[in-house]
Amino acid sequence: MTETLATPDVERAPKRLFIKTYGCQMNVYDSERMADVLRPLGYATTDAPEGADFVILNTCHIREKAAEKVYSELGKLKLMKQDKAAAGLGVMTIAVAGCVAQAEGEEIMRRQPAVDLVVGPQAYHQLPELLTRTARARGERIGADFAPNAKFDAMPEVRGVNGPTAFLTVQEGCDKFCTFCVVPYTRGAEWSRPAADILAEARGLAAQGVRELTLLGQNVNAYDGAADGVGEAGVWSLAQLATGLATIPGIDRIRYTTSHPNDMAEDLIAAHAQNPALMPYLHLPVQSGSDRILRLMNRKHGRAKYIELIGRIREARPDMAISGDFIVGFPGETDRDFEDTMDLVRQVRYASAFSFMYSPRPGTPASTMAAPVPADVALARLHALQALLLEQQAAFNASQAGRTLDVLFEKKGRHGRQAIGRSPYLQSVHVEDADHLIGQIVPVHIASGEQNSLTGRLLQQKAA
Ligand code: SAH
Ligand code: SF4
Ligand code: F3S
């Protein structure tokens, strides 16, 4: 194709933006916000990178595999960028955002010269400005200064929404410094958004049909945002924020993730008994069931405290579904330590959980600790733990059979008029002939519970 033919088309069409997201839910939120920031510049998102004008990889640094994936993806993008230029279709600008950007900085551009921009998690509001500068000189890196307030202040008020559920970041950063974890280095210190800003964002989402909010933070239950904008002195706790959000018409369900056991305040536990909008599902990572390993991990709590905490939470909300994160093969972990983890899992009974093989991360204290666990031993432990956790998940799902649960329908299913929604316990629920109910909360009779989802049927056609 010649340039004279291609150019007018390229100029008329909206600019195409492709964002690929790795890692946690906060990255999903950030990717949505990057699209919001770029929309006024004429960028519309596409779901494939081929031919895109702007490609952003929003990256995760948590484990080695996650970080390395970025470089193989960049290798493919480099070829697409060359193809696009060779076809006379203009420039494909490539940016690396997120936690790898923060951790590795300009090193990324040295390793992959096709990258034009590197932008950390607190600087993506500067993308429009960076883009215009890249037109002149490539190779900018922004990040490192950790000032989340500037980012949130610069965000456009209107968010693009995607169905009846939405993520909403209320807190960022971590001061806990678990010895295995990069997050305190990539996301900076704990910081909470002012309550008024969160309420305003939530009202905007509700006006667009959002019924369920998942409040996000690396330590979301450490939330202590300024309350002056909502007419109160001091700060609001997460429990107070949830109460405030529940008064917004349309907001019927509130979830939050991820919590730290040491920040599980009394008022938050009590809120689970008092605030019906707070869903009975809690992600409360413990990482290990061994006191010795918890100490080496710098978790600042022991197994007894965690088990006792779960007990108090279940007193306030007997049906609370508990979820968790586990690491196996942490340096020095013995068979005995691992058995303590299995034992803790048996005592707590999880509704769902994530488990990982320890991955040494550069710059973290654990990466130089003595007695690394051989990979085959760690893998065998991972398999044993995952088998137990899956068994518990299947049992929890099966125990819902015969109950009637409120389901928020989110999207169409794979076939016919099937719709898929979520139970209060965050289980996927598949229901036939329900696609007209998307966006509504409807009582559903649960016929059966399988390993990964529930199957139900409608009790009535009228929506809640
Ligand atoms: N509190 C955080 C945790 C982020 S990391 C949050 O907001 O979600 C998510 C999980 O990844 C951790 O709970 C831990 O189980 C796991 N993880 C973190 N660092 C790891 C490492 N170096 N190796 C293996 N798993 C890790
Ligand atoms: Fe990482 Fe620990 Fe902070 Fe969670 S609490 S983000 S695991 S340092
Ligand atoms: Fe990964 Fe950063 Fe989230 S390291 S888990 S994307 S906070």
- What does the alpha-carbon distance between residue 256 and residue 198 come to, in Å, rounded to a whole number? 13
Query: What is the pLDDT confidence band of residue 2, given thresholds at 50, 70 and 90?
Result: very low
Ligand 1 atom at minimal distance to the Cα of residue 260: 1
CA of 119 to the centre of ligand 3 (A): 14
Decide which of 2.60.120.1440, 3.40.980.10, 3.80.30.20, 3.20.20.10 is the CATH code for 150-398. Answer: 3.80.30.20
Q: Which atom of ligand 3 is nearest to the CA of 62?
A: 4
Ranking 54-58, 94-98, 155-159, 452-456 by mean pLDDT, the lowest is: 155-159
**What pLDDT score was predicted for residue 443?**
97
Summary count for the chain: helices (H), strands (E):
15, 21
The per-residue pLDDT for range 341-391, each reduced to its tens digit, is 999 999 999 999 999 999 999 999 999 999 999 999 999 999 999 999 999
CA of 25 to the centre of ligand 3 (A): 8
Residue pLDDT, tens place only, 162-219:
899 999 999 999 999 999 999 999 999 999 999 999 999 999 999 999 999 999 999 9
Stretch 287-309: mean pLDDT, rounded? 98
Closest Cα to atom 3 of ligand 3: 24
Q: Whose CA is nearest to atom 12 of ligand 1?
A: 325
The fraction of the chain above a pLDDT of 70, given in percent, is 93
pLDDT at 138 over 80: no
The CATH number assigned to the domain with range 15-147 reads 3.40.50.12160
Instruction: Give residue 135 CA to ligand 3 midpoint distance, Å.
Output: 30
Instruction: Give the residue, out of 28, 63, 181, with the most ligand 1 atoms within 8 A of its beta carbon, to mutate for a pocket test.
Output: 181
Q: Is the CB of 183 under 6 A from ligand 2?
A: yes
Q: Average pLDDT of 397-424?
A: 97
Neighbour count for residue 175 (Cβ, 10 Å): 12
Rounded distance from Cα 299 to ligand 3 centre (Å): 18
pLDDT for position 158: 79
Check the CA dihedral 336-176-305-426 and report its sign. Answer: negative
Closest ligand to residue 180's CA: 1
Rounded to 10 deg, the angle between the 266-274 and 303-316 helix axes is 30
Q: 3-class DSSP state for residue 284?
A: coil
**Per the CATH hierarchy, to which homologous superfamily does domain 404-458 belong?**
Nucleic acid-binding proteins (2.40.50.140)
* DSSP H helices in 39-176: 64-86, 98-104, 107-111, 127-134, 148-154
Which residue's alpha carbon is at the smallest distance from atom 6 of ligand 3?
Answer: 60
Which residue ranges make up each domain of the chain?
15-147, 150-398, 404-458
Lowest mean pLDDT among 42-46, 53-57, 131-135, 440-444: 131-135
**Pocket of ligand 3, beta carbon within 6 A:** 23-24, 26-27, 60-62, 98-99, 182-183, 186-187
pLDDT tens digits, 89-113:
999 999 999 999 999 988 999 999 9
Residue 460 confidence (pLDDT): 65
Question: Could you tell me what percent of the chain has a pLDDT over 90?
Answer: 86
Distance CA 246, CA 263 (A): 21
Distance 166 CA to ligand 3 centre (A): 18
pTM, two decimals, is 0.93
Task: Please tell me if the CB atom of residue 52 comes closer than 6 angstroms to any atom of ligand 2.
Answer: no
Mean predicted confidence (pLDDT) in 422-439: 97
